[in-house]
Amino acid sequence: MTVFYPRLAFDGIRKNKKMYIPYILTCILSSAMYYILKYLCYSKTIKQIPKTETVISVIAFGCLVIAIFSAIFLFYTNSFLIKSRKKEFGLYNILGMDKTKVGRVLFFETLFVAVISILSGILFGIIFSKLCELILLNLIETDISFNLTVSSKAIFNTATVFTAIFLALYIYSYIGIRISKPLELVKSESFGEKPPRANFVFGILGFVLLGVAYYIAITIKNPIEALTWFFVAVVLVILGTYLVFVAGSVMLCKILQKNKKYYYKKNHFVSVSSMTYRMKRNGAGLASICVLLTMVLVMISSTSCLFFGREDGLRSRYPRDIAVKVNFEKPVLLSDSAVEKLETEVKKVCKENNIDIKKAWNYRDSSVTGLLTEDGKIDIDSSHASVKDFNKLITVHIMPLSDYQKMTGDNTTLREGEAIAYATLKTKLPNKITVGNKTVKIVKRLKNLDVEGSSTTEVVANCFIIVPNVNYLVENISSLLDPLGEIMVVNSWCYGFDTTANEKMQIKATGEIGDVMLDATSELNAFSYSIDCLSSERNDFAGTFGGFFFLGIMLSVLFLVVAVIIIYYKQISEGFEDASRFDIMQKVGMTKKDIKKSINSQMLTVFFLPIIFAVVHLAFAFPLIRKLLLLFGLNNLSLFIFTTCLSALVFTLFYLAVYKLTSNLYFSIVSNNKYPLD
């Protein structure tokens, strides 16, 4: 008797291999991908690379996503397996095997699947982990090591997580069998065959939720609000999609049935009547496919845009190869002699390292942040501001006219109370700007101004006010403190330049500039300084965006496989459900050609709804995603449009291929009442 239950479980898996093989393969894929990501988290090769903390954090987040998603998906697909086995378990029960013993059979089935899936997943994970590591190292543009290692921590984590998932699956399935009556198990395939009612309330609510999510996506004006509302919009889209598909699909079938010219045709009658009976469950499956496709489209379009546009983002944040910024408490400390001393120290280091200086900027600015009111006043006391006021938030940079003239060669003259202005984010400035209790009139507006990168980021609007006398605007606000007691007005000297020197020389010179700035700023009573080197930051950008792109590819592969498996199970289960109906129709004269037409009618009615809705979701999410990309300094609209359209096109073609394969599978089942792979 010790081998009776394991043998019965093994035979059950073997006889139902058409249902178990795709399930096991997906379990293997999930565990393999989880191991690979965990391996990359623990990889000594990656940890030894400078500035890869962000990459490791991104990959660790991917591990969490795969664990959660695997649990959800395996519960979903396990329901198909249990449904197909309930009749068999019911017969065992009727023939004298009590439910405790049936539970033993189920336990061994779950155990066999778990052992095969976890061991095979870890094995394939080990085999492909080095390949994935090489791909990741190539994406983050760093040196490649060919040492193959096995991570015991990754093996332990993978085994622990998926053992817990399979244990939960067994408990859930056993409880379902335990509370069911033998007759219910035997006739489980015929339960729930009453035609569902079209729930107009749920359908309308679904469209309302989608409408709210779309409204949020297209009306968000700034990146911070986009980050705040992104997850709200995602939840609304998921809930709305399920309500629309579950309730709306039933409504669609009811409408088609009422259309006599459409319904009473041999290529529509069987398909529509069949869909009507199972549309509640069918709608949930279609909604799941739609959500998965939407996730894939969003991930691939955004992460590929970040990866291929990383140089644009880098240059947006660091317009010059090397940039120095020194901050003082008071503008009076930024005297001509102080600026000259700082500039001399930088040039001395560059000369010693044979670094040429090109396209240099050299200017002073006093900056303060506040809310821009309609009458042009900068409300510096913005402690009462909320996220809704973010669109009004602006950082004002007050620059001396003399520095502007030297830097640009513009000989425009100004009188006291007049100013030249430049604003980012297409901010509309009024004709007069008031800072503190002093007002200046804008007499000239600039379309462009070549300044330090952090002042032109696309997150917060920045405004440069060029005046003949900085103290005119700054003296009445220079002593203001924020709620934390920090000085609100920052007085800075900014110096940046490009060079033809190689990256190693630039990085070396940047370090030496930092050393001399430490002494010089202490002597001049500066309270802080920063030095940026584009070459040293390039690795960080490549690592961050390469990590996102790698994770996007990994998760997209998993989500696509899951979507295909859901479609596969959907077509098999519906094929066997519809086989008897088509068999009756064949006996009364329906040909296989008619069956093919009926299947095409059914497929075209509902099968393409997920990809259509996914593309619509992506189109409305486009403005919101673009705002989020601005947080990474990426403002290349044409690149984002290209990656989005290409992603939608590629996955639509992929979906068409899946449609072709699964429709043939469905046709083979309903026309011959056979499974083509048996």
Q: Evaluate whether 134 touches 40 at the Cβ level (below 8 Å).
A: no
What is the DSSP-derived secondary structure letter of residue 319? -
Contact (CB, 8 A) for 287 and 246: yes
Cα angle 158-161-167, degrees, rounded to a multiple of 5: 130
Per-residue pLDDT, averaged over 464-490, amounts to 77
Q: Which of 13-22, 216-225, 517-526 has the highest mean pLDDT?
A: 517-526
Nearest to 570 by CA among 672, 650, 658: 658
Q: What is the pLDDT of residue 256?
A: 61
| Amino acid (one-letter) located at 651 | F
3-state secondary structure at position 97: coil
Q: What is the pLDDT of residue 261?
A: 62
Tell me, rounded to whole angstroms, the distance of Cα 327 from its chain centroid. 37
CA–CA distance, 174 with 156 (Å, rounded to integer) = 27
The one-letter amino acid at 423: A
pLDDT value, residue 114: 92
User: For residues 106 and 98, what is the distance between their CA atoms, to the nearest angstrom?
Assistant: 13
Chain centroid to Cα 361, Å, comes to 37
Give residue 205's region: left, alpha or beta (phi > 0; psi -120 to 50). alpha
Instruction: Identify whether the C-beta of residue 274 lies closer than 8 Å to the C-beta of residue 605.
Output: no
Give the pLDDT confidence score for residue 211 in this predicted structure: 92
pLDDT at position 64 is: 85
What value, to the nearest 5°, has the Cα angle with vertex 91 and ends 90 and 93?
65
- pTM, two decimals, is 0.74
CB distance 422 to 445 below 8 Å:
yes
CB 453 within 8 A of CB 532: yes
The size of the chain, in residues, is 678
Among residues 244, 238, 239, 249, the alpha carbon closest in space to that of 197 is found at: 249
Please answer whether residues 253 and 195 qualify as being in contact, where contact means their C-beta atoms are separated by less than 8 angstroms: no
Q: Return the pLDDT at 162.
A: 94
* pLDDT tens-digit map of 229-268: 888 888 888 888 888 887 766 666 666 666 666 555 555 5
Average pLDDT over residues 367-385: 74
pLDDT at 78 over 50: yes
Mean pLDDT across the chain: 79
Mean pLDDT over 331-343 rounds to 85
Residue 85 has pLDDT above 90, yes or no: no
| Token digits of residue 23 | 């399930």
pLDDT the model gives residue 90: 65
Higher pLDDT, 69 or 186: 69
Residues 6 or more apart in contact with residue 82 via CB below 8 angstroms: 173, 176, 177
Is residue 549's pLDDT more than 80? yes
Reported as a pLDDT band with limits 50, 70 and 90, residue 115 is: very high
Q: Is the pLDDT of residue 482 over 70?
A: no
Question: At a CB cut-off of 8 Å and minimum separation 6, what does 72 contact?
Answer: none
pLDDT of 167 above 80: yes
Q: Is the pLDDT of residue 470 over 50?
A: yes
Crossing angle of helices 17-42 and 4-15, in 10° steps, is: 100
pLDDT of amino acid 435: 85
CA 543 – CA 54 distance, rounded (Å): 8
Question: How much of the chain, in percent, has pLDDT values that exceed 70?
Answer: 77
Confidence label for 163 from pLDDT (cuts 50, 70 and 90):
very high
Question: Is the predicted pLDDT of residue 116 greater than 90, yes or no?
Answer: yes
Mean local confidence (pLDDT), 600-624 = 81
Lowest mean pLDDT among 8-17, 269-278, 501-510: 269-278
252: its two tokens: 């669609």
Q: What is the pLDDT of residue 676?
A: 45
| Domain ranges within the chain, ordered by starting residue | 1-191, 207-312+550-678, 321-527
Element (H, E) at 578: helix 534-587
Cβ proximity of 363 and 339 under 8 Å:
no
Q: Of the candidates 126, 130, 143, which has an alpha carbon nearest to the alpha carbon of residue 48?
A: 143
Both tokens of residue 160? 């622990």
Average pLDDT, integer, range 347-376: 87
Residue 73's pLDDT is what?
Answer: 78
Alpha-carbon gap, residue 525 to 493, rounded angstroms? 13
What pLDDT does residue 675 have?
46
- The DSSP symbol for 196 reads P
- 23 in Cβ contact with 113 (< 8 Å): yes
Question: Highest mean pLDDT range out of 44-53, 264-273, 615-624?
Answer: 615-624
Residue 147 has pLDDT above 80, yes or no: no
Between CA 520 and CA 337 the distance in angstroms is 12
E-state strands within 318-436: 322-328, 358-372, 377-379, 393-400, 418-423, 432-435
Taking 3-state DSSP, the helix, strand and coil percentages for the chain, each rounded to the nearest 5, stand at 70, 10, 20
Once rounded to an integer, what is the mean pLDDT over residues 523-541?
Answer: 84
Average pLDDT over residues 453-473: 79
Q: Is pLDDT at 625 greater than 60 in this prediction?
A: yes
Residue 502, pLDDT above cutoff 50: yes
CA dihedral (111, 113, 117, 123) positive or negative:
positive
The residue ranking higher by pLDDT, 499 or 334, is: 499
Q: Which helix (H) or strand (E) holds 498?
A: strand 490-498
DSSP letters of 203-233?
HHHHHHHHHHHHHHHHH--SHHHHHHHHHHH
Q: Report percent pLDDT > 90 for the chain.
A: 12
Q: How confident is the model at residue 35 (pLDDT cuts 50, 70, 90)?
A: very high
Q: Map tokens 């499956």 to a residue.
A: 285
